[in-house]
Chain A
Amino acid sequence: MESEIHMSLLSVMGAPSRRDFLKTTAIGAAAVALPTVLSGCHVVGAIGKRKLDFGDDFGVLNYAYTLEALEAGFYERVVKAPPRDLRPGEFEVLRDIGAHEVQHRRFFKRALGVLRVQLPEFDWSSIDFTRRDTVLAAAKNFEDTGVAAYNGAGKRIKLAEFLTIAGEIVSVEARHAATIRDLIDPMSRSFAGDDVIDAQGLDRALPPSEILAVVQPFFKTPVRVTGL
C-alpha cells in the first residue's frame, strides 16, 4: 500500500517560514516546501515504491537518487575488485569518483527520507569488471549519461533550492566524465568531445525516457515511470 501525506498535515504543522522548515528535516521540506510551490497537490509517500512519478519534484529527486545509486554501485564493485591492468594512478581516480557517488546516493537517501523509492536491484552481468578498457568504457557511459540526465531534468524542478542542489552535483558528474575520458584518451579533445558537445558548445540534455532506455539494462526489475 502506498502511504499518502495529504495537505491536511500541513495545517497541523502550522505555518512557520518556509526556510525554517527547509532547515529542519527532509520530511519538513517534503511536507511543507513543495506544496507551497505545487498547486493543489498531495505528496505521495514513496517508500517501497518502484515507480518514478515525475509529477512533482520528488519524482525528479528519486530519479537522481536511482541514477546515483547505479553509479555508486558500479564503482563499489570496481573498487572492491579492480581490474589488474589499471595504470598507475587510475585506481585512486576510480576510488575518488566512487566516493563522490556514494556521497550523492547518501545525500538523496537522507534528503528524500520516507519519500524515497525502493532502489532496483542492479544487474552487472553486461560489464566485464576484470578489464581496464571495459570498466572505463562503462564508467564513461555512466558519467556522460548522468550529465545528460541532470541537464534534461533541471527544467522539471520547481523549487529553486532543489535546482541549485542539482547544479552542485551535475558539475561534479561532468568533471568525472571529462576525467574518465582523459584516462581513456589522454590530453586529447575527448574530454569534451564532439560526440557529446554540439556545435553551439552545449553538452547533452536528455529526457528521462531516453536516459532510462540507457540504464534499464542494468536493472534486474524495470523501473516504471509515470508523470512524464
Chain B
Amino acid sequence: MNNFEPKRLIEAHDPEIAKRLEARHEELRAGASTSSAVKAGMMMGSAAIAMGAVASDVYGQGSALPGVVAGVLNFALTLEYLESEFYIRGVGTPNLIPSDMFNVFDQIRKHEVAHVALLRGVLGSLQVPKPEFDFTGGRGRGNGPFADVFSNPQTFAALSQAFEDTGVRAYKGQASYLIDSPDILETALRVHAVEARHAAEVRRMRDQKGWIVGSSRGNLPPQTQPVYNGEATTFHFILARPGSGISMTEAFDETLTKSQVLDIVAPFLVTR
C-alpha cells in the first residue's frame, strides 16, 4: 500500500497536483527556501500545519511519501469544500432550517469551515481550488434529484446525512496512506471523529439510529445507496470467522476508496 511510485499515483488521481509538485521541485532546485506555508504554520502555532507544509517541501526535494500525503489532503479538502459550502448556504438561507435544528447545523457549519481553513493551511501552495457545486445533484444543470435542497428542510437534512456518512468513510479509507506522517495522521483522525459525530446527530434528527445498520440507506432516497454499499461486511481482516449479527455491521464503519467517494460526489460538482 505504501509502495506505490508516488508521482505516478498522484498523476493518476490528480494531474493538477502533480504539475504543481513538479513546479515546487524546480523552485527548490533553484534555491527556494522554506515555503510560506511552513512559516504560516509555525506562526499559527500549529505543529500539524507546519508538519504538513514541511512534508510538502520534503516532497519537492524528492522524498517519496509526502506527495501521497498532499494528494490525500487535497482529496479531503475537496470534500470539506463541499460540506462547508453546503452548510454555509443552508444555514444562511432564510426560513430553511427549522429553529429546533438550527444549533446542530450551525455547529456543523462551524466545524466544516474550520476544516477547510486547517487543510488549506497545511497544503499551502499545493492546495486545490474550490470547485463549483451543484447541490441539486445535477452536475451543474441545477435541476438534479435534490432540486429543493435549499427550500425543503427535509431534503437539506437528507443530503447532510449522506455527505456526513460519506465523509466518515472517505477519511477512514485514506488513513493508511498517512501512516508515515504521524502528526498529519492524528489530525486526520481527529477530523474523522468529528465527521462521525455530525453523522450520528443528523441521523438521529432524521429518526435514524446514529450508526449505520447493515448497508441500509434507511429513509434516504435511492440515489444515496452508494454511500452505504459495503457497510454490511462482517469480515475484518484477521478474523477468519467473523462476528455475526446486525450489531456486527453496526459496530464497524467501513472504508470507501477515493474513486468510490468521487463517484458519490460527482453529481454535486459542476462539470463543463
Report whether A175 and B196 are in contact in the complex, using a CB–CB cutoff of 8 Å.
Answer: yes
A203 contacts B by Cβ under 8 Å: yes
A152 contacts B by Cβ under 8 Å: yes
With A163-B176, A192-B194, A204-B190 known as contacts, the answer to whether A111 contacts B103 (CB < 8 A) is no
Chain A's closest residue to B190 (CB) is A202
A184 contacts B by Cβ under 8 Å: no
Report whether B186 and A192 are in contact in the complex, using a CB–CB cutoff of 8 Å.
Answer: no
A101 to B253: give the CA distance in the assembly, Å.
13
A178 contacts B by Cβ under 8 Å: yes
A172 to B237: give the CA distance in the assembly, Å.
18
With A178-B200, A192-B201 known as contacts, the answer to whether A160 contacts B1 (CB < 8 A) is yes
Total A-B contacts with CB atoms under 8 angstroms apart: 201
B136 contacts A by Cβ under 8 Å: no
Partner of B197, one of A104, A199, A203: A203
Shortest C-beta distance, A202 to chain B (Å), equals 4
Total chain A interface residues with beta-carbon distance under 8 A: 59
Total chain B interface residues with beta-carbon distance under 8 A: 63
Partner of B193, one of A93, A147, A160, A187: A147
Report whether A106 and B247 are in contact in the complex, using a CB–CB cutoff of 8 Å.
Answer: no
A99 to B191: give the CA distance in the assembly, Å.
26
Q: List 21 A-B contacts (CB under 8 A).
A: A96-B250, A99-B247, A103-B243, A171-B168, A171-B172, A171-B192, A172-B211, A172-B251, A174-B193, A174-B200, A175-B200, A187-B104, A188-B104, A191-B200, A191-B201, A199-B114, A200-B46, A200-B117, A201-B115, A201-B194, A203-B190
Give the B-binding residues of A (Cβ under 8 A). Answer: 22-26, 29, 93, 96, 99-104, 106-107, 110-111, 147, 150-152, 154-155, 157-158, 160-161, 163-165, 167-179, 182, 187-189, 191-193, 197, 199-205
Give the A-binding residues of B (Cβ under 8 A). Answer: 1-2, 46, 100-101, 103-104, 106-108, 110-115, 117-118, 168, 171-172, 175-176, 179, 182-183, 185-187, 189-201, 204-205, 209-211, 236-241, 243, 245, 247-248, 250-255
